[in-house]
């Protein structure tokens, strides 16, 4: 075994991570801008020298990658273990450092007395600047080891970070940002809903006071896990601060026998000294390059039509063919048949689990509809909710014991459905065979919308043990198995909208449904929040009905289309209700999206400064030769005219031609700046520093500008 180095350094082209191995356990010494070669490790150690303080330990307990009670740490331990002896005070010694390549390292530590091994794996992607970190625990002891908590590696952060941003929400209002100051003690968010959840997204930002979208230092953290989780940001009394993310394990959920291992979910982290938008660009590139499959990276994202808000459960073959005819004219490329196609499913009270085509509604099966859709040049997709069952179903009547439950506790009512126990092999086999049978019978089905519409409130499996951990892994495995059997099949992760949007599920799927709200004004904030970690290419964004079915708000077709245009665009309405103006406008918007979608789905995002009157952003390509910027008026300004739109991310030395590309027609009561600037040339410096005086528009108006570099 080779000697243990005093320090381990990982570099991307922009960042450096420096780990100290000088104590019993490894710890993060530095994470930030790439260090120059002449900046030596020992310099940082000397600069960080701390002294003994009154009424305290002579030497502070370290914030190691897994800070521990056995190390004397009085913050939150990264590992909480129990066996029949003394596992509670686990105190490992670093015994091996494995650096397989310059950007990846594994630290192996063992407590020989207790017979427990812990391995911290860190990988810093060289080009996207995102770190992926996980902790693996192995029981070497003959005694069973109960794991109460095993966090991903804990990262100490610099003391100039004074602010935190968390992400909260509810159904139809996900990804809402909440800003706060670091304060003495812990900021903790916990999720016990058995899925990622609407209200507790496992992401966190920390930043300096001066940080905004285009400048300042910030860190971003996201746990790639679709089950229960815990995140913590703690400021200790000694002034040190750290973040810690991990799976939240229910009591008795995880026990390791001798030789067995547990690996924590991966923590994804990055840093930027150019503001939040640059931080998001790191995460976006990582998703596109590392999480999405090679096939998905290469495929153009087709425009969707989803039947849900158009017909709900009122399925009729001729009606669906009529819808297909209408949306094909609009330019739709994928037709997705949502809930209501299977046996007994005339509402949300029955049928879940009986995954056979309802012969009363589809007497010839789905073939006539699929053939009609395919003949119109569209792919066909279909909706499943595999993890759920209605009590009113053949499946439940035959196997009432196949659901998650808790002995002597009444099942809570939740959308008339219960959760199937995926820790039972026979349940997984049933689901695989049922889904596979549909895909075999209808081989041109290219897409599954995979939904999950309730929380897991009683998470007990067939053995009476809490099962969210195994349930989540079984879900991933089932999705992978289905996709392996049917190459080219794409799967969307949906959970009543955005309740299962995370890097864990995205590594197995291809798209996420961002929110059940298709209200364009809601979507501006929802998609903005989601964009901190997810690129537009994976965010489902649909043009909803004229009057939103959730909020009741009426928004113009121009704005609805403009908001959906900057995600994975789709339509979700009854297209027969469109007026001639709305039809032509939507047709034009889809054509504009198609013209620019490769750019939209791959360009660099620049969110513009928050404004209580408008939500604005831009996309710029890598060589800064083309850009699209969107101004979205939410409500009328208190002044006579809006503020200027200051573009970002352009080449200040270059000259750009400025054009308004959306809407194609805009009614103005007097001539505005739009007429003056149309087709004119401006330097990037003028557009960024001086900005464009925005016109007076009605509230809820979207303007999209294109900038083409001339020289």
State the catalytic residues. 451, 516
Distance CA 510, CA 538 (A): 7
- Cα–Cα distances in angstroms (integers) from residue 594 to residues 219, 296, 304, 331, 681, in the given order: 34, 17, 12, 9, 26
Distance CA 233, CA 667 (A): 50
- Name, in order, each residue with C-beta under 8 angstroms of 315's C-beta and a sequence gap of 6 or more: 340, 341, 358, 361, 362
* Angle at CA of residue 34, ends 26 and 244, nearest 5°: 40
What is the three-class DSSP state of 686? helix
* Angle at CA of residue 663, ends 534 and 681, nearest 5°: 90
What is the three-class DSSP state of 205? strand
Please report how the helices 520-530 and 557-564 are oriented relative to each other, as an axis angle in degrees rounded to 10.
10
The answer to whether the beta carbons of residues 12 and 126 sit under 8 Å apart is yes
The answer to whether the beta carbons of residues 352 and 420 sit under 8 Å apart is no
Distance CA 81, CA 568 (A): 44
Strand ranges, E, within 420-473: 445-450
Show the 3-state SS of 138-185: EECCCCCEEEEEEECCCEEECCCCCEEEEEECCCCCCCEEEEEECCEE
Distance CA 611, CA 631 (A): 11
The answer to whether the beta carbons of residues 467 and 459 sit under 8 Å apart is yes
* Cα dihedral across residues 524, 525, 529, 532: positive or negative: positive
Nearest to 374 by CA among 294, 447, 451: 447
The residue written with tokens 């810093």 in the block is 124
The answer to whether the beta carbons of residues 542 and 515 sit under 8 Å apart is no
Neighbours of 317 (CB within 10 A): 15
Distance CA 294, CA 280 (A): 21
Neighbours of 425 (CB within 10 A): 9
- Cα–Cα distances in angstroms (integers) from residue 598 to residues 506, 566, 601, in the given order: 20, 11, 5
Query: Count of alpha carbons within 13 Å of 294, Cβ hemisphere only?
Result: 1
The answer to whether the beta carbons of residues 8 and 15 sit under 8 Å apart is no
* Cα dihedral across residues 240, 177, 293, 435: positive or negative: positive
């Amino acid at each position: 075994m080779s000697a243990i180095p005093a320090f381990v350094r990982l570099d991307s082209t922009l960042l450096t991570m420096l780990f100290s191995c000088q104590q019993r356990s490894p710890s993060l010494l530095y994470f930030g801008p790439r260090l120059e070669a002449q900046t030596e490790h020992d310099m940082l150690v000397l600069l960080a020298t701390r002294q003994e303080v009154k009424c305290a330990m002579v030497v502070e307990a370290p914030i190691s990658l897994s800070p521990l009670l056995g190390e004397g740490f009085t913050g939150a331990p990264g590992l909480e273990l129990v066996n029949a002896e003394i596992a509670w005070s686990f105190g490992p010694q670093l015994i091996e450092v494995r650096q397989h390549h310059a950007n990846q390292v594994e630290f192996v530590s063992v407590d020989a007395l207790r017979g427990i091994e812990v391995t911290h794996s860190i990988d810093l992607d060289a080009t996207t600047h995102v770190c992926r970190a996980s902790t693996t625990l192995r029981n070497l002891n003959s005694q069973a080891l109960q794991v109460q908590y095993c966090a991903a590696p804990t990262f100490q952060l610099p003391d100039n970070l004074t602010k935190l941003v968390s992400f909260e929400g509810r159904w139809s209002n996900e990804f809402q940002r909440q800003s706060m100051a670091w304060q003495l003690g812990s900021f903790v968010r916990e999720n016990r809903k058995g899925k990622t959840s609407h209200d507790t997204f496992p992401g966190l930002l920390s930043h300096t006071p001066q940080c905004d979208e285009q400048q300042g230092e910030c860190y971003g953290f996201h746990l790639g896990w679709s089950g229960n989780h815990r995140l913590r940001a703690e400021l200790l009394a000694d002034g040190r601060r750290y973040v810690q993310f991990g799976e939240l394990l229910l009591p008795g959920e995880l026990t390791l026998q001798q030789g067995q291992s547990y690996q924590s979910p991966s923590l994804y982290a990055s840093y930027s000294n150019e503001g939040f938008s640059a931080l998001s660009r790191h995460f976006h590139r990582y998703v596109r390059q590392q999480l999405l499959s090679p096939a998905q990276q290469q495929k153009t994202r087709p425009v969707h039509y989803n039947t849900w808000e158009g017909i709900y459960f009122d399925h009729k073959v001729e009606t669906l063919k009529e819808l297909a005819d209408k949306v094909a004219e609009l330019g739709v490329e994928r037709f997705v048949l949502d809930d209501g196609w299977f046996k007994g499913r005339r509402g949300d009270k029955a049928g879940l689990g009986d995954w056979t085509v309802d012969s009363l509604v589809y007497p010839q099966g789905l073939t006539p509809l699929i053939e009609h859709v395919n003949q119109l040049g569209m792919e066909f997709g279909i909706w499943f909710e595999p993890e759920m069952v209605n009590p009113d179903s053949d499946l439940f009547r035959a196997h009432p014991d196949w659901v998650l439950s808790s002995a002597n506790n009444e099942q809570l009512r939740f959308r008339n459905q219960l959760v199937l126990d995926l820790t039972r092999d026979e349940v997984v086999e049933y689901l695989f065979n049922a889904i596979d049978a549909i895909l075999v019978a209808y081989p041109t089905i290219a897409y599954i919308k995979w939904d999950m519409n309730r929380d897991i409130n009683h998470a007990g499996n067939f053995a009476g043990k809490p099962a969210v951990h195994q349930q989540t892994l079984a879900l991933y495995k089932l999705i992978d198995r289905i996709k392996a059997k049917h190459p080219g099949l794409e799967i969307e992760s949906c959970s009543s909208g955005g309740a299962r949007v995370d890097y864990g599920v995205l590594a197995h799927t291809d798209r996420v449904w961002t929110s059940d709200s298709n209200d364009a004004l809601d979507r501006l904030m929802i998609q903005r929040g989601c964009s901190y970690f997810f690129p537009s290419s994976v965010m489902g964004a649909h043009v909803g009905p004229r009057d939103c079915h959730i909020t009741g708000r009426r928004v113009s077709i121009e704005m609805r289309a403009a908001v959906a245009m900057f995600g994975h665009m789709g339509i979700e309405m009854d297209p027969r209700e469109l007026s001639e103006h709305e039809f032509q406008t939507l047709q034009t918007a889809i054509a504009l999206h198609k013209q620019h979608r490769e750019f939209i789905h791959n360009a660099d995002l620049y969110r513009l400064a928050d404004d209580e009157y408008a939500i604005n952003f831009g996309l710029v390509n890598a060589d800064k030769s083309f850009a699209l910027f969107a101004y979205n008026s939410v409500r009328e300004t208190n002044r006579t005219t809006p503020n200027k739109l200051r573009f970002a991310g352009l080449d200040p030395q270059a000259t750009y031609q400025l054009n308004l590309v959306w809407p194609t027609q805009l009614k103005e009561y007097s001539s505005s700046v739009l007429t003056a600037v149309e087709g004119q040339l401006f330097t990037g410096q003028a557009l960024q520093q001086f900005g464009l005086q925005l016109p007076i528009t009605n509230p809820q108006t979207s303007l999209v500008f294109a900038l083409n570099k001339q020289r």
